[in-house]
Amino acid sequence: MNETMDISIDFSRLKLANPVFTASGTCGYAEELADFMDVNQLGGFITKSVTVKPRMGNDTPRVVETDSGMLNAIGLANLGLEAFIQEKLPAISKLTVPVFVNVAGETIEDYVAVAQRLATEQAIAGFELNISCPNVAKGGLSFGTDPAQVTEITSAVKQAAGDKILMVKLSPCVTDISVIARAAVEAGADVLSLVNTFTAMVIDIESRKPVLANRTGGLSGPAIKPIAVYMVNKVFNEVTKERGIPILGLGGIRTASDAVEFIIAGATAVAIGTANFVEPNCAVKIIEGIKKYCDGKEIKNIRELIGSLE
């Protein structure tokens, strides 16, 4: 194989060495993975959600395995904006890989506060807005399921984010994901990432209680991959292709073949979530596998592959 094969991509205003990210919430703040992989080999890195105030997160159990998947209800446990800046940012600023901070909150002001505070931090390439959170101000329905709220939150954060790249992460739990995608893009999203997890439940039939302390959780893993691929392709065709907006595709990716499937469907880059738990070095293997695939297919530039579904 051509070891020097170039699989670098244009990702909004960034040039990335390769199209593989690790997904928010599955790779900590990078330092935890250091024993298992060289984070700088990634195309991009996305932190666990950061909120304005620290969050303890939910009671346990917070995870449960399902067929080819898992539910999680971590509850956005994180150390909060200030501690993030004090304790995590110094290490992050030493990374050469572009780092995106995943931002979550309960009100639009929460999101804006995080983005504003970090907008001037050199160490950060951009933000990923986790809009699957419940909007407490509006009765707790997820921001991401209502196009009007998506518009509002995206424009507000866009303003706050300065020249940072703004990625909006879509929830798959909607009737028509293109409607949400369009709202985000028209309100200023530079990149769309999809999908987040599916709301789901596992019941312990012995105790007749939900297994998760939070009752419900988000389904991720290979189980959801075919739905995610469909949604990426739909958003690509209906929203992002004509506008030249990149998609970060994710949901159940575990092998290079999975990653290539998302890229053919329309993703410019992909992110690895649940698979990191099984194989912490999975992303690096996938980068190698994508190169091999391109080489075998005599694809000179990975751009030829993006959205190349016949």
Ligand X SMILES: Cc1cc2nc3c(=O)[nH]c(=O)nc-3n(C[C@H](O)[C@H](O)[C@H](O)COP(=O)(O)O)c2cc1C
Active site residues: 133
Q: Which of 8, 28, 234, 238 binds another protein (CB under 8 A)?
A: 28
Residue with Cβ nearer its own copies (38 or 304): 304
Q: Which of 90, 162, 203, 292 binds its own copies (CB under 8 A)?
A: 203
Is 69 a residue that touches its own copies (CB under 8 A)?
yes
- In the complex, which residue's CB is closest to ligand X? 25
H/E stretch holding 287 reads: helix 282-296
> Which tokens hold the place of 300?
């000179």
Interacting partner of 175 out of ligand X, its own copies, another protein, none (Cβ under 5 to 8 A depending on kind): its own copies
Do the bridges between strand 203-204 and strand 209-210 make them parallel or antiparallel, or are there none, so unpaired? antiparallel
Residue 59 burial (C-beta neighbours within 10 Å; 0-12, 13-18, 19+): exposed
Whole-angstrom Cα distance, residue 233 to residue 263? 9
CA atoms within 13 A on the CB side of 294: 27
**Helices 147-160 and 177-186, packing angle to 10 deg:** 30
Interacting partner of 130 out of its own copies, ligand X, another protein, none (Cβ under 5 to 8 A depending on kind): ligand X
Q: Which of 5, 61, 121, 134 binds another protein (CB under 8 A)?
A: 61
- Which residues of the chain form contacts with ligand X (CB under 6 A)? 23-26, 48-49, 72, 74, 76, 102, 130, 169, 196-197, 220-221, 224, 250-253, 272-275
Kindly report the length of the chain: 310
Kindly identify the residues of this chain, within the stretch 226-285, that bind another protein according to CB under 8 A: 254-258, 274, 276-281
- Closest distance between another protein and the C-beta of residue 77, in Å? 5
> Which tokens hold the place of 108?
């639009």
Is 131 a residue that touches its own copies (CB under 8 A)?
no
Is 219 a residue that touches its own copies (CB under 8 A)?
yes
Is 74 a residue that touches another protein (CB under 8 A)?
yes
SS3 281: coil
Angle at 173 between CA 148 and CA 230, to 5 degrees: 110
Residue 168 CB neighbour total at 10 angstroms: 29
H/E stretch holding 271 reads: strand 269-272
Whole-angstrom Cα distance, residue 304 to residue 299? 7
How distant is the alpha carbon of residue 10 from its chain centre? 17
Interacting partner of 33 out of ligand X, another protein, its own copies, none (Cβ under 5 to 8 A depending on kind): another protein
Residue with Cβ nearer ligand X (160 or 272): 272
Interacting partner of 226 out of another protein, ligand X, its own copies, none (Cβ under 5 to 8 A depending on kind): its own copies
Q: Which of 35, 67, 163, 298 binds its own copies (CB under 8 A)?
A: 67
Whole-angstrom Cα distance, residue 74 to residue 143? 18
Interacting residues toward its own copies by CB under 8 A: 66-69, 71, 145, 173-176, 198-203, 205, 207-210, 216, 219, 221-227, 229-230, 233, 252, 257, 260-261, 264-265, 293, 308-310
